[in-house]
Amino acid sequence: MDVVRSIARQSSFRAAAPGLGMSTAAPSNSIAKLEQRLAVRLFTERRGAFR
């Protein structure tokens, strides 16, 4: 849940990574796995930012 909150606050997967102690790719991979498990899209990209 920390990953989801951090991405939502930062509006960016990359910007969220350092605060989570993750590589820049890790938040994206975590969200992709969660979305697949839930069969729901959690974030949509709009002009380079996520909502």
Q: How many domains does the structure of the chain reveal?
A: 1
pLDDT digit string, tens, across residues 15-47: 999 999 999 999 989 999 999 999 999 888 766
Domain limits for position 6? 2-50
Residue 25 is which amino acid? A
Please give the Cα distance from 29 to 40 (Å, whole number).
Answer: 15
Cα separation, 25 vs 17, in Å, equals 8
**Average pLDDT value for residue range 1-12:** 89
